[in-house]
Chains A and B, each alone.
Chain A
Amino acid sequence: MRPDIDAKLLFDTAREGRVAPLLEEVRGDPSALGRVFARAARVVGRGVGPGGGRVEDVARVRLLVAACETVGPDAAAGVVAGQYARGDADERRAVLLALADLDGLGVGDAAVPVILDALRTNDTRLVAAAMGPYAAAHLPADAWRHGVLKCLFTGVPLTAVADLDARRDAELDRMVRAFADERRAAGRDVPEDAVRLLATIR
C-alpha cells in the first residue's frame, strides 16, 4: 500500500493491481487520459468500494490527479476542463469529486466553470458531486447558495454540501425559508433537510 495516497482512495490488492497500469499509462502520456478515463470502470470495477466511495469514481479521481501531477500546475486546469468536457456523466462526476484533491496542484479558481456547468444540469449525481469541498472553498456566495437550493429542489441530501454550517448565511436562510413557504402554499411537503436547516437558524 502506498503511504502517499489518501486512505479513502486506496483499493484492495486486486483493484490496486488493475489500476496501476492505467496510472502508469497516464503518467507516461497525459494525453491518454481521455481513453483511459473512459474505460477505467471496465478495467478496475464499479459499484460501492471498501471506503464507501464508488470504485469507478475512486479510480478516475486517481487518474485525474496523476495526469495533473504529470503536466504540472500551469496545465492542470486545462486538463480538468478538457476531461470534464469530453466525459460522459459518470466521468464528469469523477472530475467533480477529484477537485478537492486537485486544489494543491495549481487548479485554483479555474475549475469554477466546471462546477457551475454541473449545477446547471438536473442530473442529481452531478449536482451532488459539485457541492463538495472545492465548491465550498471557491464558489462565489450567490452561486454557492443557489447550489444549496438546487440540492433541496432536486432531492440531493444536504450531507452532499461540504462546510454547510460554516458557509451558510442569512441570505441562504432567507432563500430556504421562501422555498419552504412556496412548497407549503402549493400543498406539498417541505423536504426534511430544509426543515432541519430552518430549525437551526441562529
Chain B
Amino acid sequence: MRIFDPHIHMTSRTTDDYEAMYDAGVRAVVEPAFWLGQPRTSVGSFVDYFDALLGWERFRAAQFGITHHATIALNPKEANDPRCLGVLDLLPRYLEKDGVVAVGEVGFDSMTDAEETVMVRQLELAGEHDLPVMVHTPHRDKVAGTRRTLEIVGQVGLPPERVLVDHLNENTIDLVDDAGCWAGFSVYPDTKMDERRMVAILDRRGLDRVLVNSAADWGRSDPLKTWRTGRTMLAGGYTDDDVDRVLWRNPVAFYGQSGRLLLDDVATAGDYEGNTLQRGEPVTAAATAGEEG
C-alpha cells in the first residue's frame, strides 16, 4: 500500500511514528500549519514555526524516507488574537516557497467576524500565489460553519476544484460534493470519524475528489489511520487500485495543482499524474509563466 497522508502534524509526533508510518507504506505527507495547543502571543513565534515546517521537519521526515510538504496560513483560532494578525503580512514570503502546496488551514473555529475577515484575505492570497486552499471546518456547529465556508469560497471566486474542505462527516459531505470542492475526512481513534463510517461514505458517494487523512497531532490520534482505512476498504471489497486512488493518486492530484509537490525521491511507480509534479526540470513554459508576482 502506497500512502500519502494529506493532513498530519508531524512536529507533534515521534520518530517511532515516522518508522511505523514508513512500515505501513506512508511515503509522503502534507503538514498544515495550525494551532499548537498553546496560544501564541507574537508574530515571531509564527516565523519560527513556519521555518521549522519548511526546514527541520522536512529534514527529519526525509531521514525516515518520507517526503514532507506543508501548507501555510494563520489558523482560525489565532485569527481572533490581534497580536497575531501581523502573520498575514508574512504569508506572501512563505507562499512562494518550494514544498508549500496550499494555503491552509484556513476556516472557522467560532465563526467570528475576525475569522471571516482573515479567511477571506487568505483565500485571496491563494489566488495571488496560484495555490490551492485547505479549509478546516469547525468542530462545533459544523453544518452551519461548512455552509458559510462554501458561500465565502464562492464569493471570493476560487475554482472549487482548488479547494479542499476538511474534517467532514455524514452531515456535511453532501454540501461539499454539491459545491464541487474536494472532500477531506480525518479518521480519528474516537467519535469524529472512523474507518467503517469512512468506507460507508465511499460506498455511497464514490472515490472522486476525496482525501482521507489521520490529522494526527498532539491530541489523541493515530498516524496509521490512513493505512487502517485502506485495510477496511480492502476488507469491504475494494481493489488495491481503489485504495491507491484514495490514499495516493487523489492527494497527488489535489496538491499537485500547486506545481510544487516534491516526490522525486519517493518510489512513485504507477500512474500518478506526472504533469502535476515539480520534477527535476520545469515542466512547461506555461507552468512557470504564472509565477511572476
Contacts and interface: CB of A to CB of B under 8 A. Distances in A.
Interface of A: 18, 34-35, 38-39, 41-47, 55, 86, 88-90, 92, 121-125
Q: Is the interface of B mostly helix, strand, loop or mixed?
A: loop
Interface of B: 51, 54-56, 58-59, 93, 96-99, 259-260, 264, 278, 280-282, 288, 291
How would you classify the secondary structure of chain A's contact residues: helix, strand, loop or mixed?
A: helix
A88 B55 contact: yes
A42 B97 contact: no
Given A34-B96, A38-B97, 8 more contacts: A39-B288, A42-B282, A43-B291, A47-B280, A88-B54, A88-B55, A92-B55, A124-B59
Contacts of B282: 18, 42-45
Contact of A42 (B58, B93, B264, B288): B288
14 contacts: A42-B259, A42-B291, A45-B280, A45-B281, A45-B282, A46-B280, A88-B51, A88-B97, A88-B98, A88-B99, A89-B58, A92-B55, A123-B55, A125-B59
Contact of A47 (B59, B260, B264): B264
A73 to B, nearest CB: 26
Contacts of A121: 55-56
A39 B55 contact: no
Contacts of A124: 59
A42 B59 contact: no
A90 B93 contact: no
Contacts of B97: 38, 88
Contacts of A39: 96, 288, 291
